[in-house]
Amino acid sequence: MTTDLRGRTFFIRTFGCQMNENDSEKIAGILAAAGAFPAGREEDADILIVNTCAVRAKSVEKMASYIGRLGRLKAGRKVRIGVTGCVAQVEGKALTVGRKGIDFVVGPDGYLRLPRILAGAFSGPVVDTAQSPDWQEAPPLLLARSSPASAFVTIMEGCDNFCAYCIVPLARGREKSRPLPSIRAEVDDLGRRGYREIQFLGQNVNSYRDPASGTGFASLLEETARRPGPEWIRFVTSHPRNFGPEIIEAMAASPRICRQLHLPLQSGSSGVLDRMNRGYTRAEYLDLAARLRKRLPGIALSTDIIVGFPGETEAEFQDTLTALEEIRFAAIFSFRYSPRPGTASSRIPDDVPLEAKRRRLIEVQALQKRLQTDFHRGLVGRVLRVLATGPGKKDASAFSGRTEGGQVVNFRAAADVTGRFLDIEITGAGPYSLRGRIAGAADPI
């Protein structure tokens, strides 16, 4: 069957995490290699793809609303609408039942088959959710990178931890690691092309193990830091249960590995953590955070928090608040618990009232806002190294960048500085971003 998509245009809307963003880069590159061109807006495309996450109910709700709007674009036009990503994998054919307009549903292991699907004749919705236990390599050169300075490098997919609330093992399957030679080749290519930063991706990135040699994640970090290439190395997401001392030592051994770590806590209560099947206690997490801070002074820790998990009492919720106070994360991502189909927790009563969940989420976010504001104010007056990522979102005359710790900094520059490292003097701080000026410049934002 032909895979020629010349003359076709596509638009991709992404909901979800960095893995979803990287998936969209892969899909865009695969379609472009088959001859299709990206469109700047939905109305100009004849292939419309919704690539979305299944981890939170809210993402699925956003997808449903968006698809409803896309359906109206089909009137009088030959438009193909498809769903890809984790929702596609989990729901499969069910996405096409009762929904008019969805023409194809393709899971993460089927992206390379998209051109063949789209070039074929549709006699009804096409559903491709076949999963493979082996790594499915999408040639890195096909990726349509969204940034000229910072690049995602996926090194593993799936998860074997089976946390009670988590749909990832259903959406992405069991853990599978990418062969080390292909990771090396991609990182080397990014270095030759002038990328300044890479971010290793995986649902449980620190479980990485090369299928051939058995090389683990700490060794991958050490090797990458020794090779010529991007100056900053980041990674996400890590599971505390798998975060051994060898990873801490690998981070400490090289200044190229950013002193930033996203380490999901989920709850500050040992009881809730046990019911979540997280595999660690509150005390063990606090000990890990303390060891990280001792060995990596100044490290910026971020985390995920779920409130209202089944059975969570007020006392257990207070344990989460005190953990936030003690650890003082640089940033958090917080959510109300929502049962996901097929998970262990979906089979037990969702017994925390919605109003209690809402109140607890507000309390968590209010506390974190205060802690972040205090942390950011402590950076005022310092000169920090910042990677400029592009024009600011709210002020077209300003630029935006990130510190090593991941804080967003807005500043002015006389010329386009995207992709450059700059020394920025921090002149002001809010709860979610910093303001600054190029060191020695007279015009702060």
Strands 102-106 and 80-85: parallel
Residues 383-438: name the CATH superfamily. Answer: Nucleic acid-binding proteins (2.40.50.140)
CATH topology of domain 147-258: Transcription Regulator spoIIAA (3.30.750)
- Residue 142's pLDDT is 78
- Residue 1's pLDDT is 44
Distances (CA, A) of 273 to 54, 193, 287, 310, 337: 21, 44, 15, 11, 13
- The CATH number that domain 260-377 falls under is 3.30.750.200
Structure tokens at 330: 């640089």
Structure tokens at 16: 């979800």
- Residue 17's pLDDT is 83
State which CATH number among 2.60.120.260, 3.40.640.10, 3.40.50.12160, 3.50.50.60 fits the domain covering 9-128.
3.40.50.12160
Counting Cβ atoms within 10 Å, is residue 442 exposed (0-12), middle (13-18) or buried (19+)?
A: exposed
Please report, for the chain, the start and end positions of each structural domain, with discontinuous segments joined by +.
9-128, 147-258, 260-377, 383-438
Distances (CA, A) of 81 to 7, 62, 193, 255, 414: 17, 16, 34, 45, 43
Could you tell me the pTM of the whole model? 0.91
pLDDT in tens, the chain (445 residues): 457 899 999 999 998 888 889 999 999 999 999 999 999 999 899 999 999 887 777 777 777 788 777 777 776 678 899 999 988 998 888 888 766 678 999 999 999 999 999 988 777 889 999 988 889 888 777 788 989 999 999 999 999 999 999 999 988 999 999 999 999 999 999 999 999 999 999 999 999 999 999 999 999 999 999 999 999 999 999 999 999 999 999 999 999 999 999 999 999 999 999 999 999 999 999 999 999 999 999 999 999 999 999 999 999 999 999 999 999 999 999 999 999 999 999 999 999 999 999 999 999 999 999 999 999 999 999 999 999 999 887 776 799 999 999 999 999 998 999 999 999 999 999 999 999 999 976 555 5
To the nearest 10 degrees (0 to 180), the angle between helices 217-226 and 180-192 is 30
- CA–CA separation, 28 vs 115, rounded Å? 11
Cis ω for the linkage preceding 343 (within 30 of 0): no
Q: Do 147-258 and 260-377 fold alike per CATH?
A: yes
